[in-house]
Structure formats: structure tokens, C-alpha cells
């Protein structure tokens, strides 16, 4: 298997695909794609990824992009640690969390890009719009956790990585975050499979 990821190892979506493979105990190679140089738009990569996006997983003669689709494919194809809850409604909720952090909360994603997490970049204070998005994030996360600091659904799921990644964008720069969510994120962040991504060597960050 081959997992194509961004050359900076900063994509939160490549992160969850990477963690999913490790949680299943699978052996795979990593190929990096320089998004800044638009390498993903080249014909060579287009032959591999029909959407020309990372992450892309290649398994035998099958290639797949879009991180949540990759996570589901891995979970349904291979034995090992479950990536999604067994309960039908919890599984639907986990997919909702994944879809939500990919499609909403744009002010946070704009003002706290993942470079701040993985490369130590600094950013100015949050705008009013980003603070409003943060409040929505906190409200949803606190409701889902229901005063717990372990996992969203009792047992760990890949949705925990998605949610922790969104919260970590704020935590690393010292933005105000409820303590329960800080504790939850720290627990997720120290999961060994996630730490393998955190400690990947990265090229110097330019322009941030």
C-alpha cells in the first residue's frame, strides 16, 4: 500500500488516513506531494488520484482519495482496531463529526491553519468571526463528550482524531479553550499512532 500525503505533513486529512493505517497495524509506504508546487495537478498524480487530492491511498489496483472515505475503506477492509463505533447511531455521529470539521468552522481553519500545530507558526489574535466559530466548536464538543475527557463514544474512534485536531489549532496558540476540552485533546494527542505523525521530519516553513 502507498499513502500519498502533503510534503509538509501538515494536512489534518492526511493525518487521519495515516493514523487509520497504523491503528490497523498495516505496512505501507509514504509518498509526498508538493502542493505548493501544484504537483497534485500533474498528469502523473492525476493517473493515481482522479480528484488530484491528498491523501490518496493506493491498495493493490485500487486508489482512493478523500480522507473519510479512506478511513471507512480501511475499517471495512482490514481487521484490527475499529476506527468507527459498532453502535449504528454512534457510527453515524462519528461520521457527522468528520463531515462537520471538514465543511464548517472556516474562520478557525483560515486563522489557525495546521501549520501552527505542526510547524510552530504564530498567528494574530482571533477575529470576531473565528471566536464565534470557536464557541460553536466548544458547544458541540462539550455536548458530545458529556463531561468525559476520554473519547467521544466510550471506545476510541477516528473521529476523536478529527475533533482533537480542530481543537489543537486553538490550544497551541493559547486561545481560550475550556479545560475539559484541553484535557480531552491532550489525551488524544498522546495516542502513539498520532504521535508518529507529530514527530515526522518536516521541511522549514516559509511565509508563515
Give the domain CATH number at 166. 1.20.1050.10
Per-residue pLDDT of the chain (208 residues; tens, 9 = 90+): 999 999 889 999 999 999 999 999 999 999 998 877 776 787 787 888 888 888 999 999 999 999 999 999 999 999 999 999 999 999 999 999 999 999 999 999 999 999 889 888 788 999 999 999 999 999 999 999 999 889 999 999 999 999 999 999 999 999 999 999 999 999 999 999 999 999 998 887 665 4
In the chain, the number of structural domains is 2
pLDDT number for residue 121: 77
Give the integer Cα–Cα distance in Å for 120 and 169.
11
Give the domain CATH number at 73. 3.40.30.10
- Domain-located, residue 105: yes
Same domain, 114 and 182: yes
Chosen domain end from 52, 82, 112: 82
Give the integer Cα–Cα distance in Å for 151 and 148.
7
Chosen domain end from 31, 66, 82: 82
Residues spanned by the domain of 26: 2-82
Same domain, 112 and 185: yes
- Domain-located, residue 203: no
Same domain, 54 and 108: no
Same domain, 40 and 97: no
- Domain-located, residue 206: no
- Domain-located, residue 185: yes
The residue behind cell 464565534 is 132
Same domain, 28 and 65: yes
pLDDT number for residue 206: 60
Same domain, 28 and 98: no
Same domain, 116 and 135: yes
- Domain-located, residue 180: yes
pTM exceeding the 0.85 threshold for the entire prediction: yes
Same domain, 95 and 76: no
- Domain-located, residue 165: yes
Same domain, 61 and 116: no
Those residues with Cβ within 8 angstroms of residue 26's Cβ, 6 or more apart along the chain or in another chain = 1, 74, 78, 80
Amino acid at each position: 500500500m502507498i499513502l500519498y500525503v502533503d510534503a509538509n505533513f501538515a494536512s489534518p486529512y492526511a493525518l487521519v488516513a495515516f493514523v487509520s493505517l497504523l491503528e490497523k497495524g498495516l505496512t505501507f509506504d509514504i509518498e509526498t506531494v508538493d502542493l505548493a508546487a501544484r504537483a497534485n495537478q500533474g498528469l502523473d498524480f492525476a493517473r493515481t488520484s482522479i480528484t488530484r487530492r491528498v491523501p490518496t491511498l493506493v491498495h493493490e489496483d485500487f486508489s482512493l482519495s478523500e480522507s473519510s472515505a479512506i478511513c471507512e475503506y480501511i475499517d471495512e477492509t482490514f481487521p484490527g482496531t475499529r476506527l468507527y463505533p459498532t453502535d449504528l447511531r454512534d457510527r453515524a455521529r462519528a461520521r457527522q463529526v468528520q463531515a462537520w470539521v471538514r465543511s464548517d468552522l472556516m474562520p478557525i481553519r483560515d486563522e489557525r491553519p495546521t501549520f501552527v500545530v505542526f510547524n510552530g507558526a504564530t498567528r494574530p489574535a482571533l477575529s470576531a468571526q473565528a471566536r464565534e466559530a470557536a464557541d460553536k466548536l466548544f458547544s458541540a464538543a462539550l455536548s458530545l463528550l458529556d463531561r468525559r475527557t476520554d473519547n467521544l463514544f466510550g471506545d476510541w474512534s477516528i473521529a476523536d482524531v478529527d475533533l482533537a485536531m480542530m481543537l489543537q489549532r486553538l490550544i497551541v496558540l493559547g486561545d481560550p479553550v475550556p479545560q475539559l476540552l484541553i484535557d480531552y485533546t491532550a489525551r488524544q494527542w498522546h495516542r502513539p499512532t498520532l504521535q508518529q505523525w507529530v514527530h515526522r521530519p518536516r521541511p522549514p516553513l516559509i511565509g508563515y
